[in-house]
Amino acid sequence: MTLVKQILETRIKKADIEEYLREKLKNAFFGGVSISFTPLGTRVTIYAMRPSRVIGPKGKVIKEITEALEKQFGVENPVVTVVEVEVPELNPYVMAERIAQDLARGLRYRRVGFWAVKRIMEAGAKGVEVHISGKLTSARARTEKFTEGFMPKSGELAMNYVLEGKSSVLLKTGLFGVRVLIYPPDAPLPEEIKVRQIEAPRA
């Protein structure tokens, strides 16, 4: 197997695992997953707003997840750990799920979109985009975008720093999709200039 093919297969597997966890852990406000491979096995770290629901009573849910990773996705010796999301407003997965739940409760999409942007920016983000798609006001589906701050679209900044989360919700009018992009507080800005002070050589 070539290196490129191996990388692609690894990314596809991670995407499948992420989709499985997002659906299974909706009530826990799933906040993403990181997967790292070690000589002793595969370390799977699940981020969630409500870690107790990931673990489940007597560890039932986390055992089910571990078994699914091993049997369904072919992950070798999975070691699953759970980490609480410290700032939910800066986690795109959590915010996308919150938006989806608010839409399911019947709140207007504009109100929900502006609310999400405000909360994310108040948490310290340098930029945010919220996309809500579906039959928003008529029988024809379209996408409404809510933005604030700086959001790179391509290049190194977009690839290395932009965080993305998605969710969906089925309403009476059809399926609504939610996509949240966050440019986090610690990400650099193109126009930022750092001045380094150099001490004068001693005589």
CB-count burial class (<10 Å; 0-12, 13-18, 19+) for 54 = buried
Q: What percent of the chain has pLDDT over 90?
A: 39
Question: Can you give the residue ranges of every domain in the chain?
Answer: 3-84, 88-183
> What does the pLDDT read at residue 65?
92
Region 185-191 average pLDDT: 85
Distance (Å, rounded) from C-alpha 82 to C-alpha 49? 10
Q: What is the mean pLDDT of the chain?
A: 87
Residue range 31-55, pLDDT digits in tens: 888 888 777 788 889 999 888 999 9
Rounded CA separation 109/142 (Å): 12
Helical H runs in the chain?
3-24, 51-55, 60-71, 92-104, 109-122, 155-161
Domain 88-183: CATH architecture, name and number where available: 2-Layer Sandwich (3.30)
* The pairing of beta strand 41-48 with beta strand 78-84: parallel
CATH superfamily of 3-84: K homology (KH) domain (3.30.300.20)
- Give the global pTM: 0.76
Predicted confidence (pLDDT) at residue 181 exceeds the cutoff of 90: yes
